[in-house]
Chain A
Amino acid sequence: MRVEPAAVKASGWGWRHATRKDFALRAVDFAIRPGERVLLLGASGAGKSTLMAGLAGVLGGDEEGEQEGSLTIDGVDAREARGRVGLVLQDPDSQIILERLGDDAAFGCENLNVPRSEIWERVRESLDLVGLGALDLRRSTRHLSGGQRQRLALAGVLAMKPGLLLLDEPTANLDPAGVQEVHDAVRQVIETTGQTMVVVEHHIDVWLDLVDRVIVLGRPDADSLSGGVIADGTPAEVFASMGDLLAEGGAWVPGRAIPDYRPGTRVIVEADDTEALPADSNVDSNKESASAGDQSDIDGFGNDVKTVAAKTAGHPVLSCRDLSFGRGTALGTGIDLDFHAGEVTALMGPNGAGKSTFALTLAGLLRPIDGQVLVAEELAPSPNRREPIHWKSRELLGRIGMVFQEPEHQFAANFVRDEVSIGPKSMGQSQDEAYRTADRMLERMNLTRFAKANPYTLSGGEKRRLSVASMLAAAPRILVMDEPTFGQDFRTWTEMVRLIAAIRDHGSCVIMVTHDEALVDALGARRVMFQEGSEA
C-alpha cells in the first residue's frame, strides 16, 4: 500500500475554544514536507492536542471556536481536507466504533464513500500491516487487548489512505508490551506507505527511532502573540539546546537520570514533606477501639522517620491468607502475602492478569472468594474484626485508602477543596479543620490555585494529583494505588515518586499496581509479579 504523502503548513495559526477567554495556541508557524516524521512536544497546556485536532479537521466550525491564521494540508484548509488526514487518539476504549473487527476497520472508508469491493481490499491490507491480519474479520472487538485496540484504530485510519498520519499519545494508556506492539505497527505502516506523520508523546524514547524532526510548542501568553513554535529541528539539535526546558515542561527527555528515592535515601524527606502530610491527630478521632495498639509499631506514622526502618521489622500490617480473589470466578487462589509498614510493594505483570482486582480486594472493596485479607490487630477497628471487607465504609478511612486508576471514578464533590475535605470530615473533623487539612494537602500537591475549580475541569496530571490528595487527607496507614503514574508527564511523575517515598518513610504501607519499571526502580520497591499459570 502506497499513499501520496501530504505537506502540512501552519501560518500564524491559532485557536480559541468558544468557551475560553484565551487562545489555546497562537502564532504557530511551521512547514512539514511530504514524508517527514515529526515528534510534537510541549508542556501540558501548550495546545498539542488542539493542534492535532486542528490538523485532523475535527475542531469544528465557527460556533465551536475562533481560528486565526491558516492551517493547510497540501494547500487545502485542514477543515476541508476530509480523508487526507487520519488521527489515532489516546484512549483505546473510545476509538472502537463497531462490534466486529472488520466492520470497525471499514468504518472510515464507508464515510469516504469508497466503493464496497475496494473497502474490503483496503481493510485486509491495513489489518495485515498492523499485524492483525490473522484475526477473523467477524471477531468481536470487545475482548481485544489495549495494544490490539490501538492497532485496530490505526488500521481503521490507514484504510482511509490518509497522506498525513496523526498519533496523539497513542501509547499512553498501554502496558509495555502494548507500547511495543503499537510502535512496531506504526513503523511497519510508515515504512510501507511513506506517509507524513506527526506524533505527540511524553515518552520521547518510544518514538525516537521513527522521527526525523522535533517541533516544540510554547505555552501561549494571554495578550501577546508569543508562544507558537519555540524549537524546531532534528532530535539531536533540539534535545541538546532544549533538554532542560523540555524536562521542566514534562517531557521524558532521553538519557535523563531518574531520581533515586529508594529506602534509606533519607535526604529526600524534607521538612515540608513531613509537615504537609496529615498529622496523626486526624486518625485518632476515628480510632475509638484501637487503644491497645497505640504503642505498637504501626503507630510510628507521625514519629521520627529514622525509627521507621527498625519498626518495619515487626509483623505485617496487611496480609492475605489462602486468598482467592476475582469477580465471580477466581483469578488466583491460595495466595499468601504479607505487606509491611514503611514498605512499597509493586504488583506487576501483564494487563488483564487481575492486578487491579487483587488491589481492590486488598483495599477491602471486593469480597475475597475464599480465604482472608487481614489487617494488623492494632489497626483494625476492634481486634476481632480484622477483615476490611466487613468494615463499614467509614471505618476504612484512616486505615486503608484506595487510589483508583481512573481519577474521575473517585470524584464526589463539586469543588476541589471540598473533594479533599470529604475524608477528614467523615472522620469527625469540623468543617474548618477539614478545610485546613485540605488546604495543606492542596499546597503539598501544588493544587492550591484550583481550590475553587470543579475536579472534572482539571488536566489529566492534576486530576491524578487530586485523587491522591483526597485519599491522603484521610491519612490511611495502608495506601493502595492503581497505576499512580499512568499517562503522566515527567514532572507529575517525579512529584508522584517523591510523594510515595514520603508516605513510605512515614511508616505507611504502600501497595501499587504498576507497569512502570522506572517508578519501581526509583522507589526501590519490592516486586510481586503476576504470572499466568500453565494449564497444568
Chain B
Amino acid sequence: MSESVSIRIAGAGRDSASDAAVKPAVSDVVTVSAQDTREDPLKPASPSWFVAKVNPVSRIIGALLLCIPMFFSLDLVSATTALGIEFVLLWIGGVAPWTVCRRTWPVWIAALGSFISVFLYAKVSGRILWSVGWIVISEGSFPLALATAIRVAAIAVPGVILALGLDPTDLADGLVEILHFSPRFVYGGLAGMRMFTLLQDDWRALGLSQRSRGLGDGNAVSRALSQAFGLLVLSIRRATKLATAMEARGFGSDAPRSQARISRLKAVDWLFYAICLSVPLISLGVAIATGHWRLAFTGGA
C-alpha cells in the first residue's frame, strides 16, 4: 500500500456551463495506490514451534499449571528459579530471551510497578530506614519488593507468550470438543468478537460525524458519552443482524451439531502439561531445599 502515486489530469478540467447539455465525460482521474490483492500470509499459531503444536485449550491449562503453584510462595529464590527455567524452556521452544522481553514489555512495567509499591508501602520487617507518612522503607523492603517483581514476571511472562497467536476459532473448537462447553455459548461469543473490528470503525465514524455536525468543540467527557451511546445503539443493531444471519444457518437450536474441525488432546499436550507443572515444582523444590521458602498469606516465616 505504500507505492507512491501521482495524479493525472485527463481532461481539460471542468466543463463550462455551455457544455452542460453534452453527456459528461470523465474530467479528472485520481490515481490511487493499488489495493493489496495478494493473499494474507497465514499467521503462525505461536512464536514457539512447540507451543504451536499444542492444543489451544492446553495452552490455557498449561498457563494455569505454571502460575497457580507460584502464588503460594513469596521468596526470591523460587521466583528467580522459575523465571530462569522459563526463559531457557522458551529458548529451546524457539523464542529467544530478547524476543520474550520485547513481546512481554507490559509485564515488565507491571513488575516495576509492583516493585515500587511493595518497596514503599510493604509491611515493616526489620529496622526502619526511612519513613514519610504512609511510606515506610525498612530492611526487609528491598528483598520483598524484588521477590514480588520477579514473581509477577515469572507468572505473567509465560502466560503472555502462550497467548500470543492463539487462534480464537481453534480455542473455541477446543472448548467445545475437549472441555464440552456449550457450542451455542462458545460460537455465539466467537462470532460476537468479530464485531469488534466493525465497532472500531463505527466509533471513528461517530467521532468524525460529531465534528461535522458542529458538536465537536464541547467538553470531551460529554462528547465521549454521547459517542458511546451511539456506539451502543449501533452494536445492538449489528448484533441483531448477526444473530439473524446465524439463525438462518441453523445455529441456536438444541438439535445435535457436528464439528467440521477436529480438536483433541494428543501426546504432545500431556508432555506440555508435564513441562508446565515441572517449572513451579522445581523452583519451589529449590527454594525449600535451600531454606528460602516462604509461604504466602502467612504474614512471613
Residue pair A532, B248 in contact (C-beta under 8 Å): no
In chain A, positions 97-132 with a C-beta closer than 8 Å to chain B are 97-100, 102-103, 106-116, 119-120, 123
Residue pair B40, A396 in contact (C-beta under 8 Å): no
In chain B, positions 1-42 with a C-beta closer than 8 Å to chain A are 1-7, 9-10, 13-17, 20-21, 23-36, 39-40, 42
Residue pair B26, A332 in contact (C-beta under 8 Å): no
Which residue, of B5, B191, B256, B261, has the highest number of chain A Cβ atoms within 10 A? B5
Write the nearest CB–CB distance from B26 to chain A, whole angstroms: 5
User: Given A89-B248, A354-B32 in contact, is the A97-B242 Cβ separation under 8 Å?
Assistant: yes
Contacts of A82 in B (CB 8 A): 250, 253, 255
A295, CB-defined interface residue at 8 Å: no
Write the nearest CB–CB distance from A1 to chain B, whole angstroms: 17
Contact of B169 among A96, A100, A409 (CB under 8 A): A100
B214, CB-defined interface residue at 8 Å: yes
Contacts of A157 in B (CB 8 A): 248-249
Contacts of B6 in A (CB 8 A): 333-334, 533
Closest to B241 in A: A94
Residue pair B194, A99 in contact (C-beta under 8 Å): yes
Contacts of B21 in A (CB 8 A): 262, 264
Residue pair B248, A86 in contact (C-beta under 8 Å): yes
Give Cα A330–Cα B217 distance, bound, in whole angstroms. Answer: 28
Contacts of A106 in B (CB 8 A): 260
Contact of B20 among A140, A262, A423, A534 (CB under 8 A): A262
Closest to B10 in A: A529
Contacts of A110 in B (CB 8 A): 257-260
Contacts of B258 in A (CB 8 A): 109-110, 112-116, 119
Residue pair A53, B260 in contact (C-beta under 8 Å): no
Residue pair A470, B213 in contact (C-beta under 8 Å): yes
Of A67-75, A219-227, A336-344, the stretch lying at the interface with chain B is A336-344
Closest to A322 in B: B7
Give Cα A133–Cα B26 distance, bound, in whole angstroms. Answer: 36
User: Given A156-B249, A331-B32, A526-B15 in contact, is the A264-B191 Cβ separation under 8 Å?
Assistant: no
Residue pair B260, A58 in contact (C-beta under 8 Å): no
Give Cα A406–Cα B273 distance, bound, in whole angstroms. Answer: 50
Of A186-194, A231-239, A241-249, A359-367, the stretch lying at the interface with chain B is A359-367
Contacts of A207 in B (CB 8 A): none
Determine the main DSSP class of A at the interface with B. Answer: mixed
Give Cα A138–Cα B10 distance, bound, in whole angstroms. Answer: 42
User: Given A264-B17, A404-B209, A406-B205 in contact, is the A533-B214 Cβ separation under 8 Å?
Assistant: no
Contacts of B216 in A (CB 8 A): 392-394
Contacts of A336 in B (CB 8 A): 7, 9
Contact of A363 among B24, B212, B262 (CB under 8 A): B212
Residue pair B241, A160 in contact (C-beta under 8 Å): no
Residue pair B206, A409 in contact (C-beta under 8 Å): yes
Residue pair B250, A528 in contact (C-beta under 8 Å): no
Residue pair B245, A526 in contact (C-beta under 8 Å): no
Write the nearest CB–CB distance from A53 to chain B, whole angstroms: 7
Write the nearest CB–CB distance from A73 to chain B, whole angstroms: 14
Contacts of A114 in B (CB 8 A): 258
Of B80-88, B115-123, B226-234, B288-296, the stretch lying at the interface with chain A is B226-234
Which residue, of A262, A408, A422, A423, has the highest number of chain B Cβ atoms within 10 A? A408
Contacts of A470 in B (CB 8 A): 213
Contacts of A116 in B (CB 8 A): 258-260, 262
Residue pair A366, B29 in contact (C-beta under 8 Å): no
Residue pair B30, A396 in contact (C-beta under 8 Å): no
Contacts of B9 in A (CB 8 A): 336
A516, CB-defined interface residue at 8 Å: no
Contact of B7 among A332, A350, A525 (CB under 8 A): A332
A527, CB-defined interface residue at 8 Å: yes
Contacts of B103 in A (CB 8 A): none
User: Given A330-B5, A456-B233 in contact, is the A263-B198 Cβ separation under 8 Å?
Assistant: no
In chain A, positions 389-415 with a C-beta closer than 8 Å to chain B are 392-394, 396-397, 400-402, 404, 406, 408-412
Contact of A94 among B16, B190, B242, B253 (CB under 8 A): B242
B246, CB-defined interface residue at 8 Å: yes
Residue pair A332, B5 in contact (C-beta under 8 Å): yes
Contacts of A139 in B (CB 8 A): 39-40
B298, CB-defined interface residue at 8 Å: no
The 11 sampled A-B contact pairs (Cβ below 8 Å) are A93-B198, A94-B242, A97-B245, A109-B260, A116-B260, A331-B1, A336-B7, A347-B30, A349-B30, A393-B213, A532-B32
- A58-B247, A529-B30 are known; give 7 further A-B pairs, CB within 8 A: A136-B39, A333-B7, A392-B216, A401-B212, A409-B234, A426-B214, A529-B28
Give residues in B with beta carbon < 8 Å to A: 1-7, 9-10, 13-17, 20-21, 23-36, 39-40, 42, 167-169, 190-191, 194, 197-198, 202, 205-206, 208-217, 226, 230, 233-234, 237-238, 241-242, 244-251, 253, 255-262
Which 4 pairs between the two chains have the least Cβ-Cβ distance? A393-B216, A111-B250, A108-B249, A94-B241
